[in-house]
Structure 1
């Protein structure tokens, strides 16, 4: 998450850390669906929206991506809630099992910080294909040039699963950044990827994967065909609905996006992903009260996904209830103690509210996550004075 450059209000004569707003909270690129999930039967929460003049801030996310899809990994919720060390430390712990290292890699923050890149580079050379695959999927969050540098060698990995993951991670890198040799390697691997998906052409997951590849390669009509085929094959596969809605939004059709998401909710009324995507669509339509309600439903239906709680907490804060917004972030942080967005949100909102102890604790964890970030150290020092 990128914080706004302006500072917050005074805290005991000092400036608070810059605080997140919903424009930044929703600025997260789409992630590719890895596995199908049948809808969970969890009673949907009843959420009341908030209005007021402060709600105008909510519409600043109008140009942001529709939703950040989840990447699930075995044991991620329990591991995160009980861990006392940052994920990158666990990821490089050779005494841990491969599945635990892979889970730790999947939980690492999506950024290009030196510590994150070092841990990812180590994971890409791990002896376990599970760890290497998790690392390849994680590099989708780094800059395109770094993604190329780290991902191209993985197109020739001994493991087919790793090679195919590398295709997904690299497909959206602009063509001008490739060398002819690397592009040829990618094309070979992409052909293998397509062939592997066509083996399961009667399954929605495979069709959605083909749609994602076509979209990333700029073949939008082919992508739409694949997403619609996936929905026809399995109406309960929510990833296909969300990708189709995002494709419509990219083409400038917000009303079409809204319609697709609402249609998708008919067979999937308890899908947190669809409720969250609809909430962001409503934000862009400036329908604030409805937007906050949908974001809240998503956060309640999927408490294991920190991102939804973060966006909901920022939305509530920015629409007139800062105390409740902070409480939402603090509750989520108890389950996800190393989530960077939640830590930044709690640090900023707690400082704004005059709760220096909570702000300092969050800042300390952020420094533990990114000890090479001088801005975080400066913010911690300012809060401790």
Structure 2
């Protein structure tokens, strides 16, 4: 990609769309809402860089990191920075737009291929008293211009990674052939029609009072909160009356399109009425490492939705606008008063409940039930699962708890003792966290309990689906049978998670169970079914009738169209490559992997997939330099070392194989498969006692693992340790012996 010294490109322009009317038009009637929205984070999500919007110090201010000194300055009314470009050399770059406002502000720089890149040196817009009013680096460990987190790399690309949620009616307009953009928007910020949809039909309703426009008065997305919260006599918490789950989800799903960790699978059409299902446009992530702790608390940046749908609040009908003003985005009441809208303050806002002085930070509901995690160095965000602190789980599973996050000078034992004294009934409550942890380890004894969690309708869908997803770690009929029951669930999230488990079945069995899902009303489910059926178009194990082939091909075409929405991402190209590879279209698969590496040359998953493509074609010598490059980029990358270890085994270089496999097994001890393969390689290379020791250690992490038990029984028998071998053999299921 070529970078100029100056940003000479034509700046992204508003798209001409007659169906959008603009926030100024809305303001004519909705003056209060418009006034509240002005100055909000949505309003200031993105702005032209000028004296009114730029908060940073551009008066020859400097910032130095890793030997690079960047200088911020002005040329007339323009804002500029002299910093290292894609080639590592200092250059002058013009700031085109501001991005965000508080607690930090970032800056966008345009290039002549239509890209906008987000500068990694950001302005801390907090007050000096809070430690702000300074330049700081979002990634202080960045090693230089070849680092994947450098501001010129894909990870900091605005068009692909940021733009959709910061502007109204954004059209990415990526061209694969030239690897360039012509991105447009209707309004630069998150304006009225981002949430309500294009407003022209609302204007038509206003002018005609056409009753055919329905209760929503011509607006395309009905995100009003329905029902009434009432606290009945004798009850300390309000209940919602007259609300529908579908209507509740419509508002939450509208917010979730941006406020969630998700990928795009369908275009959000702001010009037609919107449905209620998030999975028609976005694929949200479940409770999994490294996004969440095993108890569902936020770990990586997951943007609220995933934690909120775990909460009792969500289960009982709370929506975003119950706590937040939807236009100003501010809380609807200060401090504990926002909670007191529903929770009786004479009971809950008392020292008898929170055991803190009423003037202390510990008396604030959110500090106990919505602890903060800081991202982007200075941006604290609250966990919206609104959970009760569980120091017992901190002790057993290592997850955080709000008490020790505040009382950092205290040990968990201190917290647990106080908690047992104050809330003896709470500490005994069952938690799904141990099951999620055991499922991630593939612990055999956890399977029945995981299955029970999946079937437990009293648990949040987010939790049940996360448990169901983990059944992929159990390639047996028990896990599959649990998933089969969920294929007819009324929850699209459950049906989707079930498909991933059904993938364990042979192709002949998959087709019988998954065929009805090819016509599922929810897009994400159709796409996932299409992914599994794609290989059947070329399979020798399944014979499809001509009409079935047409159905599968149409589904695969829809799947490809969905992937193309992310064609400007290395992950999207890799997904495309995997699809083509499953259909034996080697040339298209190779092309997709190469495109992924054009977008981000250091994207290790694409290097590994391309190497695997060569492995599948019997061309290991072509795979070798790709794996070497991956390990050069990250010597401790688990997948790269594992793949290299397997390659060395195929090349009959066992000593080298064990060295690479040792890295994989050491870096990812929770992935028992790595330890198992490492032990097998050790045994085959003559290090037999060490191999048996490694297998025994792996078995402690995954009790009942049949591969490990079988290997131990066999290896011990070969060593003449017959009685010890019989002890492990006896633990194998009857069919495995």
Structure 2 contact 597–603 (Cα < 8 Å) conserved: yes
Moved more, 217-226 or 75-84: 75-84
* Farther off after superposition, 160-169 or 88-97: 88-97
**Deviation, structure 1 residue 276:** 1.0
Paired with 1:375 and 1:87, the residues of 2 have a C-alpha distance of 18
Q: Aligned-pair distance for 1:335? A: 1.9
1:65-76 superposed matches below 5 A: 73-74=288-289, 75=294
Distance 2:521 2:724 in 1: 50
Q: Which structure carries more relative contact order (alpha carbon 8 Å, separation 6+)? A: 1
Q: Determine whether 1:157 maps to 2:520.
A: yes
User: Larger % of strand: which?
Assistant: 2
Partner of residue 312, structure 1: 678
The Cα offsets for residues 185-220 of structure 1, whole Å up to 9 and x where unpaired, read as 222221221111111111111110111111112211
Q: Residue deviations 1:134-173, cap 9 Å, x none?
A: 3322333321211222222222233322222222222222
Gap runs ≥5 in structure 2: 1-140, 142-286, 295-435
Alignment root-mean-square deviation, CA: 2.9
- Give me the whole-angstrom Cα distance separating, in 2, the residues matched to 1:240 and 1:215: 13
Q: Specify the alignment match of 2:617 in structure 1.
A: 251
Look up the match of 2:447. 87
Match of residue 146 from structure 1? 509
TM-score, with structure 1 as normaliser: 0.69
CA contact (8 A) 1:261 1:274 kept: yes
Per-residue CA deviation, residues 310-351 of structure 1 (Å, 9 max, x unaligned), is 110111112212221121122122222253323332343345
Query: Could you tell me which residue of structure 2 aligns to residue 133 of structure 1?
Result: 496
Higher mean Cα deviation, 144-153 or 92-101?
92-101
Shift of 1:258: 0.8
How many Å apart are 1:127 and its aligned residue? 4.1
How much has 1:80 moved relative to structure 2?
4.5
What are the equivalent positions in structure 2 for 1:1-385 lying under 5 Å apart?
73-74=288-289, 75=294, 77-81=437-441, 85-87=445-447, 90-93=450-453, 94-95=455-456, 97-109=463-475, 113=477, 115-173=478-536, 174-175=538-539, 177-353=543-719, 354=721, 356=723, 360=727, 363-364=730-731, 366-367=732-733, 374-376=734-736, 379=737
Specify which structure has the higher proportion of helix.
1
Q: Determine the structure 2 residue equivalent to 1:22.
A: none
Judged with a 3 Å threshold, the aligned counterparts in structure 2 of structure 1 residues 341 and 131 are, in CA distance, closer, same or farther, namely farther
Q: Deviations over 1:277-332 (max 9, x none)?
A: 11111111122211111111111121121211111011111221222112112212
Q: Is the 8 A contact 1:88 1:119 kept in 2?
A: no
Cα 1:347/1:130, change in 2 over 3 Å: farther
Distance 2:696 2:508 in 1: 35
Q: Determine helix, strand or coil for the equivalent of 2:566.
A: coil
Report the Cα offset of residue 246 of structure 1: 1.4
The Cα of 1:225 is off from its aligned counterpart by 0.7
Q: Which moved more, 1:187-196 or 1:337-346?
A: 337-346
Give the 3-state SS of the residue equivalent to 1:270 in structure 2: coil
- Structure with higher Rg: it is 2
Q: CA deviation at 1:91?
A: 2.5
Unaligned runs of 5+ in 1: 1-40, 42-71, 368-373, 380-385
**CA deviation map 1:242-278 (0-9, x unaligned):** 2111111223321111111112222232211111111
On the 8 A contact 1:236/1:267 being kept in 2, the answer is yes
| Distance change in 2, residues 1:82/1:294 (3 Å) | closer
TM-score by length of 2: 0.37
